[in-house]
Amino acid sequence: MKIRKDKDVRDGLMVSMGLMTLGLATLMLGSDREYGWLVLGIILTLVALYKAVKPSKDFIEDERSLRNKEKAGYHAFSVMLILIILLNLLYFYKMWMPLPSQIYALLFFVGVYVWIAFQWMYNKKGE
Amino acid sequence: MDKDNVGENKVFLVHIACGAVFILLGLVQVMRYEAIGFFASGYVLIGIMYILLAVKTSKLPKTETMPDERFIGIRDKAGFYAFFSIIAVVMILSFVDLLLLYDIIDIGSSALLFSGSENIFPLMARYMFISFVGVMVFIGVMAYYLKKGN
């Protein structure tokens, strides 16, 4: 098994190490709820290591999946804008007044999962 | 402009409906909360812009308002970048909020965006910031790729 040491792998490891440093910094500040950075860093490290043991031509995206990714990104962007407008109205009329930290988690997870769902849908359905 | 095609294109009806909804939302806000008409004026402005767009598209034939393949490709690409910029802004804001929560940094109460939750509308300012960054990235990337090509 040959392990690659090129630019992609190095960049992935750099990003994951930066995220883990941020996570450790927040933990050292005494926070008990920002484990997400650390978990994200660990996941990205595993992804980078997985990519390192595969040949680089396995990860060249074809036209179709790139197109689906971008299309899903556009629709996720629209969904997030509509969601932000709705949350803003709810806050404005004092129907739901959450903490900012709750909102960040909500926006992050809704955005990422909507993106994944749209990508799955377009991959299945075609154009 | 082909005269036979005038009136065939029904896109302007959608624009008129959207404009009416936005103007109604703005008027409701003005009537319920007179003091903060500033926020409502944005809705009314969007409504007026939709109506102007309807006036413009009502005169165009159907083939001119349909987006072509290149435009759709660039729009999707711009939306993709805007989506990830929103995700990045959310992550950075959550970190900045954490720093504010533990009093690591203090930039005073002048900037509403980074003020604590004891202020009146801190969350609204954050919503505005997130959506503003997203829309600006979308417009910027779109202008870039429309100029440069795919």
Nearest residue, CB atoms, A77 vs list B39, B94, B134: B134
Rounded Cα–Cα distance for residues B123 and A108 (Å) = 16
Q: What is the pLDDT of residue B36?
A: 59
Percent of chain A with pLDDT over 90: 40
Q: Across all residues in chain A, what is the average pLDDT? A: 87
Residue B5 has pLDDT above 70, yes or no: no
ipTM over 0.95? The verdict is no
Most confident of A24-28, A41-45, B25-29, B110-114: A41-45
Would you say the C-alpha torsion B6, B7, B11, B16 has a positive or negative sign? positive
- Beta-carbon contacts of residue A54 (< 8 Å; ≥ 6 apart): A4
Q: Across all residues in chain B, what is the average pLDDT? A: 80
Domains in chain A: boundaries: 7-58, 61-125
Closest CA of chain B from A4, distance in Å = 28
Residue B1 has pLDDT above 50, yes or no: no
Touching B: A residues 41-100, CB under 8 Å: 67, 69-78, 80-81, 84-85, 87-88, 91-92, 97-100
Whether B43 and B23 have beta carbons less than 8 Å apart is answered as yes
Whether B1 and B60 have beta carbons less than 8 Å apart is answered as yes
Whether A74 and B76 have beta carbons less than 8 Å apart is answered as yes
Domains in chain B: boundaries: 1-66, 67-150
